[in-house]
Amino acid sequence: MKNYIYIICFLVLSSCSQTKNSCDDQSNGFAPFDGQTVMMGSQATVDVFNQIDAAWAAKDWDLLASFVADDATLTFEDGQTASNGQEFISIIIAEYDEYMASDSGWGWTTTYAFAIKPSKPEGTDYPNNRGEWVSAGFQGTDGFYMEWYQIDDGKLISWSQTKQDSNE
């Protein structure tokens, strides 16, 4: 009887100690390159986005520029482009000055943000494989903005912005 108790205890303990998860990464949808699907990204990437958004709102231009990688690809809704932190900030400051001169105000409310990442099919080195992507939406004083942030190692390497004009 004593041996049966030991055997049962051993079986129970060994069945509870299995830590390997046999579930595959959940994905859905498709991405632009052959074989890619879309998966959820991490909260850590959303946290970097939140830091970028906070620096932008506080007009902390030096901090905001520090998040931008050299040779980044940054495209504003009006077609202006920048490739580094200083160029990015210069465009933002010019837009800020224009808004303030027109008395239309400057500011926004962030309405959503989530991170995704494409799957990385074996043997591929697609440009969208770097880091993760944050999709964010903002209600601005002059319309609704949708933006994509490609963040890799805490740096903004790609960013694009679209705008829906306000109906007012």
* CATH code at position 140: 3.10.450.50
What is the span of the domain harbouring residue 59? 26-120+129-165
pTM of the model: 0.81
| Residue 2 belongs to some domain of the structure | no
Q: Is it the case that residue 17 has pLDDT exceeding 70?
A: no
CA within 13 Å, CB half, 51: 17
| Residue 3 belongs to some domain of the structure | no
Tokens of 9: 């205890």
| Residue 57 belongs to some domain of the structure | yes
Amino acid at 151: I
Q: pLDDT (tens digit, 9 = 90+) per residue, 117-130?
A: 998 888 888 888 89
| Residue 148 belongs to some domain of the structure | yes
Domain count, the chain: 1
CA distances from 133 to 105, 118, 129 (A): 29, 9, 10
| Residue 106 belongs to some domain of the structure | yes
Q: 63 by DSSP, 3-state: which?
A: helix
Q: pLDDT (tens digit, 9 = 90+) per residue, 76-133?
A: 999 999 999 999 999 999 999 988 888 777 889 999 999 999 988 888 888 888 999 9
| Residue 145 belongs to some domain of the structure | yes
| Residue 7 belongs to some domain of the structure | no
Q: 15 by DSSP, 3-state: which?
A: helix
